[in-house]
Amino acid sequence: MSLLSIVDAQVRFGGVRAVDGVTISLERGNVHGLVGPNGSGKTTLVNAISGFARLHDGSVTLNDEQISGMRPDQIFTRGISRTFQSIRLLSTLTVRENILIGTDRARAEGDGRGAGKLLPRDAVNDRVDHAVALLGLEKFAGDFPSQLPYGLQRRVEIARSVASRPELILLDEPFAGMSRAERDELSDVLIEIADDGFTLLVIEHDMRIIHKICSHLFVMNFGRCIAEGSPRETAELEIVQEAYLGKQHGTA
Ligand SMILES: Nc1ncnc2c1ncn2[C@@H]1O[C@H](COP(=O)(O)OP(=O)(O)OP(=O)(O)O)[C@@H](O)[C@H]1O
Ligand SMILES: [Mg+2]
């Protein structure tokens, strides 16, 4: 059974079909890449999975439970956590406190029946410590986000996601605005997060990063998933090169 199944998902904004009949599945433990030209519907698909956009048709199921139609907080307590294309950290809280927020009402370990309940303090501290260590933020735990360079702020966001111990983490362009060195470091961290047992869906434009971290790739264009498979075989398809790679030539 797939971890997440999306069947014929449709999201419209007026006359725009932002997501236009997408059917895909995410498998447990994989790092999935989601690529496509600007405006092709990647963020809207992530919004539809996480409850931030309403489906006009189709369904999303997590572990065989239908989650489409639920509120974002209900979907979060069932084990899906996300970051946003623009960083959203609370500036008056320290790095550690920002990460702590991820544990609030998070899914309890086990069968999920504890979802929505407060966790015991020890469990909260363990989760935060683990997330801080996994993202390499030990030295910055007492700092405020604004004191950190952009790349580290991104890591705090991802740590907040990890701290909720989700089954699935959705990352919307986590590498955006990073230097090449920061990108290389973060890609190593994402591989570690996957090794730790998390399933990831990562939106990213840089095919070098996609090839490095993803085992499965989805390509979107005009709201549709036009191809999927291993990054290598998918990137070679003519339909993909026409839609996406051709456009990127000389800019990567
Ligand atoms: N809230 C909204 N209201 C109206 N139209 C929207 C809204 N959100 C997205 N769209 C439109 O839906 C389409 C898909 O947008 P989306 O942001 O999902 O694309 P994307 O693939 O994430 O693009 P990018 O690579 O630029 O982030 C675009 O045509 C966009 O203008
Ligand atoms: Mg987007």
Q: Name the residue ranges covered by the structural domains of the chain.
A: 4-248
Ligand 1 pocket check for 18: Cβ under 6 Å: yes
Phi, psi of 121 (to 5 degrees): -60, -40
Ligand lying closest to the C-alpha of residue 244: 1
CA distance 211 to 231: 6
Identify the band that residue 122 occupies on the pLDDT scale cut at 50, 70 and 90: confident
Contact 162, 198 (CB under 8 A): yes
Ligand 1 pocket check for 43: Cβ under 6 Å: yes
Mean pLDDT in residue range 131-158: 93
Ligand 2 centroid to residue 127 C-alpha, Å: 29
Ligand 1 pocket check for 39: Cβ under 6 Å: yes
Identify the band that residue 118 occupies on the pLDDT scale cut at 50, 70 and 90: low
Q: Which class is domain 4-248?
A: alpha beta
Is the confidence at residue 246, as pLDDT, over 60? no
> Above pLDDT 70, what percent of the chain?
91
Q: What pLDDT score does 116 carry? A: 55
Ligand 2 centroid to residue 91 C-alpha, Å: 24
Nearest alpha-carbon partner for 79 in 108, 105, 107, 46: 107
Is the confidence at residue 128, as pLDDT, over 80? yes
Burial profile 53-74: b = 16 or more Cβ within 10 angstroms, e = fewer: bebeebebbbbeeebbebeeee
